[in-house]
Amino acid sequence: MTAFEEMGVLPEIGKAVEEMDWIQHTHVHSIPLILGGGDVLMAAETGSGKTGAFCLPIIQIVWETLKDLEAGKGSKIIAQISPHWTLSFFDRGSALAVTPDGLRCQSREQKEWHGCRCTKGVQGKGKYYFEATVTDEGVCRVGWSTQQASLDLGTDRFGFGFGGTGKKSNNKQFDNYGEAFGMHDVIGCYLDLDIGEIKFSKNGVDLGKAFSIPQQVKSAALYPAVVLKNAEMSFNFGAQPFKHQPESGYIALCEAAKDNVKQNEIGTAGGSSQSKPVKNAPQAIIIEPSRELAEQTYNQIVKFKKHLENPQVRELLVIGGVNVKEQIGALNAGVDIIVGTPGRMEDLISTGHLSLTQCRFFVLDEADGLLKQGYTELIDRLHRQIPKITSDGHRLQMIVCSATLHAFEVKKMAERLMHFPTWVDLKGEDAVPETVHHVVVMVDPQKDNNWQNLRRHIQTDGVHAKDNVRPGNNTAETLSEAVKMLKGEYCVRAINEHKMDRAIIFCRTKLDCDNLEKYLNQVGGGSHSRNNQYSCVCLHGDRKPAERKANLERFKKQEAKFLICTDVAARGLDITGLPFMVNITLPDEKSNYVHRIGRVGRAERMGLAISLVSSVPEKVWYHGEWCSSRGRNCWNTRLTDEGGCCIWYNEPRYLAEIEDHLNVTIQQVEPDLKVPMDEFDGKVTYGQKRQQMGTNYENHVAQMAPAVQELSQLESKTQLFYLKRHFGKMRN
Ligand SMILES: Nc1ncnc2c1ncn2[C@@H]1O[C@H](COP(=O)(O)OP(=O)(O)OP(=O)(O)O)[C@@H](O)[C@H]1O
């Protein structure tokens, strides 16, 4: 049995994971929690394997559900409750969900009505009563119908409904009746089979006769029935004390004599289920903050489900920049798990191509990032549209994860949307993995005069093009320009010093990325040079999706040594064994520091992260929504509070904030960029697993051996002592 199987993972999935050479990670602790049906907030360091921790149990549950459906089985719960009067799990509309106890139903479909009938009905004679309570805003209609009736109660001859707008309906005829009802109102539903009459009460007040039941309908059994539009109702068929006692002569439905009770045929042998799987309604929705990350998670799912067959789990990637027609085609063919970015996902939902009615997992990967990107409302909106109880009676599960989950907005969202979530959090605060060695170097143009006589330097961002910057005048603008030039030099120096042949380099803006790309290619002898020591590719929002994808691939295949990117690639990107990363500028969003440096030191391999920090203020571009071109050909170098598109960037302040947030002092190194290795015993090879780990472990065993031996001796002494006392007493 694999370690993963011990956590409840199916052998087929365990095998796939084993083939990926996965050893058990700390983070798999979330797996049993998710398999157990809970909501989980998963906070763990970068590179610790969060993707697997949520994908594995989801794939498993989705597959098991498909298998049950294929075998014609509904929820396992059904068998337990079928002897009772409950709402049917089978005789119901596809968007209507029923709780496991069968006493509450909900539909989050906003445009269509979805209905449901009870597992049993009454026929012949007798007077019967049940209660229905409105438990959420929305529109509902409740009453009685025969098995022949449409689930849209009251729209044919066989159904008799009383609606929240104060109308009764039968055979599509809607007439005023009683009064309107809504949230918390209790509707009493009366059926008198002796005289063939249906009536209702509201909060115990009799509303008078509603219908006479035609003879041909009366000969069939009548079942309690309900139809909802984005609403929820709970039911009491008499197993609990009624809120309002029925008038005399009427009995609770559950007390009906056996001879008068008829089992609902739908869902029992010989019956047919109306709750067929809906093709474009997946069971799991996983939202990712970037296309690259969505694709990465999608690829992991493909690997994990490799050995799962009969039925096949169908996954779909839903991201922008890709032909939407293909995605719609795939949706229509049937999907089970969707991974995507928020924008395209919502487009497909709002146009009806993607349905949320069968969704049982709602996953927000890099949740704090999604919220910071402004998707709070979109997330709330999607959550509102997903039924909180699945069609087979399970509660919707929400899984939220990130390496930086300790953010105020995440906690607020969890309170708002999640159901008693469990925090899986080993550190209790945002932290950097031990495998990431991170240092800063101060770039000080007042101490380091090199910028004054550079023959060749990086093209700067042009912020100071109109300023009088020149060596010697020492203005803030000159020093700022000097920092930009020096950072190009320091970047090349870092590469040379550490003989980097693979690294991610983060810049603040797309323009900075483009400039660095040009510069590295120039230093390396040109982008087409075969001996280019600094071959590089760019990944940022202005590059076309196909180019982004191709560039990432080239970097992964080591056809390019350096990946230069903006924060679009800060989160989640998993590049096996990446040894180095460089921050040309610190991120202003402190959580992104953790994510950026977390591109190295993943899956227990060591990594080095170097951040260049300007000691003086640096004037930089800041194009907000006020900038009509959002930066393209914008040369408005006035400050933002003067209506311009520049700010003074204060890196030492950002550094202090990051240190404060992480509760650490980040080691500073000299401008020669040499990183002292003694702390790591000189045995570190960045990109490789730590050599000393094994040795440490062996030492640890050797150190512990005497203590363990002593413990074992004490244990056997205690047992002997106990046995002597126990049997000694017995003999006496
Ligand atoms: N149990 C395991 N054994 C070995 N490797 C693993 C295990 N779990 C995950 N990995 C590997 O670790 C790497 C990091 O995993 P993953 O991308 O899920 O990290 P993460 O926690 O989501 O990080 P981030 O916060 O940066 O997104 C991946 O390459 C993955 O294949």
Q: Tell me how far the alpha carbon of residue 32 lies from the centroid of ligand 1, in angstroms.
A: 18
59 within 8 A of 308, measured Cβ to Cβ? yes
pLDDT in tens, 113-161: 999 999 999 999 999 999 999 999 889 999 999 988 999 999 999 999 9
Q: Tell me how far the alpha carbon of residue 573 lies from the centroid of ligand 1, in angstroms.
A: 10
Q: What dihedral do alpha carbons 652, 653, 658, 663 form, nearest 10°? A: 90
At 91 the pLDDT is 83
At 616 the pLDDT is 97
Q: Tell me how far the alpha carbon of residue 588 lies from the centroid of ligand 1, in angstroms.
A: 26
Among 4, 9, 22, name the best residue to mutate to test ligand 1's pocket (greatest count of ligand atoms within 8 A of Cβ).
Answer: 22
pLDDT in tens, 663-717: 999 999 999 999 987 555 556 889 988 765 444 444 555 666 666 677 777 777 7
Per-residue burial over 618-627, b = 16 or more CB atoms within 10 Å of its CB, e = otherwise: bbbbbbeeeb
Does the beta carbon of 49 sit less than 6 angstroms from any atom of ligand 1?
yes
Does the beta carbon of 403 sit less than 6 angstroms from any atom of ligand 1?
yes
Dihedral pair phi/psi, residue 640, rounded to 5°: -60, -35
476 within 8 A of 617, measured Cβ to Cβ? yes
At 388 the pLDDT is 79
Token output for 690: 């730590």
| 163 compared with 2, residue with greater pLDDT | 163
**Does position 391 have pLDDT exceeding 90, yes or no?**
no
**Does position 632 have pLDDT exceeding 90, yes or no?**
no
At 274 the pLDDT is 39
Per DSSP, what are the bridge partners of residue 309? none
**Does position 77 have pLDDT exceeding 50, yes or no?**
no
Nearest Cα to Cα of residue 696 among 708, 678, 680: 680
User: How large is the average pLDDT for residues 469-473?
Assistant: 89
At 273 the pLDDT is 40
* Winning range, highest mean pLDDT, from 5-14, 315-324, 704-713: 315-324
- Percentage of the chain beyond pLDDT 90 is 71
**Does position 293 have pLDDT exceeding 90, yes or no?**
yes
Does the beta carbon of 598 sit less than 6 angstroms from any atom of ligand 1?
yes
Question: How many residues comprise the chain?
Answer: 732
Identify residue 601 by its one-letter amino acid code.
G
Q: Which band of pLDDT confidence, cut at 50, 70 and 90, is reported for residue 279? A: confident
Q: Tell me how far the alpha carbon of residue 22 lies from the centroid of ligand 1, in angstroms.
A: 9
pLDDT in tens, 328-370: 999 999 999 999 999 999 999 888 899 888 899 999 999 999 9
DSSP letter, residue 253:
G
**Does position 277 have pLDDT exceeding 90, yes or no?**
no
At 729 the pLDDT is 53
Q: Tell me how far the alpha carbon of residue 21 lies from the centroid of ligand 1, in angstroms.
A: 12
User: How large is the average pLDDT for residues 651-672?
Assistant: 96
Among 290, 602, 605, name the best residue to mutate to test ligand 1's pocket (greatest count of ligand atoms within 8 A of Cβ).
Answer: 602
At 366 the pLDDT is 97
In the three-class reduction of DSSP (H, G, I as helix; E, B as strand; rest coil), residue 429 is classed as: coil
Distance CA 696, CA 676 (A): 21
User: How large is the average pLDDT for residues 166-185?
Assistant: 96
Q: Tell me how far the alpha carbon of residue 42 lies from the centroid of ligand 1, in angstroms.
A: 13
Peptide bond into 311 cis (omega under 30): yes
Tokens 């009064």 sit on residue: 179
Q: Which band of pLDDT confidence, cut at 50, 70 and 90, is reported for residue 394? A: confident
Does the beta carbon of 290 sit less than 6 angstroms from any atom of ligand 1?
no
At 105 the pLDDT is 92
Helix/strand/coil (H, E, C) string of 609-675? EEEEEECCCEEEECCCCCCCCCCCCCCCCCEHHHCCCEEEECHHHHHHHHHHHHCCCCEEECCCCCC
pLDDT in tens, 558-574: 999 999 999 999 999 99
Does the beta carbon of 275 sit less than 6 angstroms from any atom of ligand 1?
no
Residue whose Cα lies nearest atom 10 of ligand 1: it is 49
When the pLDDT of each residue in the chain is averaged and rounded to a whole number, the result is 89
DSSP letter, residue 246:
P
Close Cβ partners of 189 (under 8 Å, ≥ 6 residues apart): 129, 130, 131, 132, 142, 143, 144, 162, 198, 200, 224
User: How large is the average pLDDT for residues 432-458?
Assistant: 94
Of ligand 1's listed atoms, the one at least distance from the Cα of 293 is 27
687 within 8 A of 501, measured Cβ to Cβ? no
Of ligand 1's listed atoms, the one at least distance from the Cα of 599 is 26
Does the beta carbon of 605 sit less than 6 angstroms from any atom of ligand 1?
no
**Does position 731 have pLDDT exceeding 60, yes or no?**
no
Helix/strand/coil (H, E, C) string of 295-329? HHHHHHHHHHCCCCCCCCCCEEEECCCCCHHHHHH
User: How large is the average pLDDT for residues 55-71?
Assistant: 92
**Does position 724 have pLDDT exceeding 90, yes or no?**
no
Q: Which band of pLDDT confidence, cut at 50, 70 and 90, is reported for residue 455? A: confident
Among 48, 296, 365, 595, name the best residue to mutate to test ligand 1's pocket (greatest count of ligand atoms within 8 A of Cβ).
Answer: 48
Q: Tell me how far the alpha carbon of residue 430 lies from the centroid of ligand 1, in angstroms.
A: 17
Distance CA 219, CA 599 (A): 71
**Does position 529 have pLDDT exceeding 90, yes or no?**
no
| 358 compared with 504, residue with greater pLDDT | 504
User: How large is the average pLDDT for residues 181-192?
Assistant: 97
Distance CA 511, CA 490 (A): 18
Least confident of 88-102, 532-546, 579-593, 644-658: 88-102
In the three-class reduction of DSSP (H, G, I as helix; E, B as strand; rest coil), residue 595 is classed as: helix
Among 9, 50, 402, 689, name the best residue to mutate to test ligand 1's pocket (greatest count of ligand atoms within 8 A of Cβ).
Answer: 50
Q: Tell me how far the alpha carbon of residue 598 lies from the centroid of ligand 1, in angstroms.
A: 11
Distance CA 622, CA 642 (A): 13
For the entire predicted model, the pTM comes to 0.74
User: How large is the average pLDDT for residues 72-78?
Assistant: 52
Other Cβ atoms within 10 Å of 58 Cβ, number: 24
Per DSSP, what are the bridge partners of residue 400? 41, 364
Among 31, 293, 574, name the best residue to mutate to test ligand 1's pocket (greatest count of ligand atoms within 8 A of Cβ).
Answer: 574
Q: Tell me how far the alpha carbon of residue 48 lies from the centroid of ligand 1, in angstroms.
A: 5
Q: Tell me how far the alpha carbon of residue 576 lies from the centroid of ligand 1, in angstroms.
A: 9
Q: Tell me how far the alpha carbon of residue 36 lies from the centroid of ligand 1, in angstroms.
A: 22
Q: Tell me how far the alpha carbon of residue 399 lies from the centroid of ligand 1, in angstroms.
A: 17
- Percentage of the chain beyond pLDDT 70 is 92
Does the beta carbon of 52 sit less than 6 angstroms from any atom of ligand 1?
yes
User: How large is the average pLDDT for residues 429-436?
Assistant: 92
Nearest Cα to Cα of residue 346 among 373, 316, 383: 383
At 715 the pLDDT is 75
